[in-house]
Amino acid sequence: MEKSFFAISVIGPDRPGIVDQVSRLVAAAGGNIEDSRMAVLGGEFALMMLVSGPAGAAEKAAAEVRGWAAGHGMTAVVKPTTGPAKVAGAIAEIGVEMPDRPGIVSRVTHFLAERGANVETLETEVHQAPFSGAPVFAMHINIRAAGKIPLDQLRNALQDLADDEDIHITIGTSL
Residues 77 and 109 in one domain: no
Q: How many domains does the chain have?
A: 2
**What whole-number distance in Å separates Cα of residue 7 and Cα of residue 49?**
6
Residues 135 and 165 in one domain: yes
- The residue with greater pLDDT, 111 or 175, is 111
DSSP state of 65: H
Note whether 52 and 5 are within 8 A (CB): yes
- Which domain CATH number covers 108? 3.30.70.260
What is the side-by-side strand order in the sheet with 32-41?
A: 32-41, 44-54, 3-13, 75-81
**pLDDT tens figures, 54-83:** 988 888 999 999 999 999 999 999 999 988
Residues 54 and 127 in one domain: no
Query: Containing domain of residue 112, as a range?
Result: 90-174
> What pTM did the predictor assign?
0.79
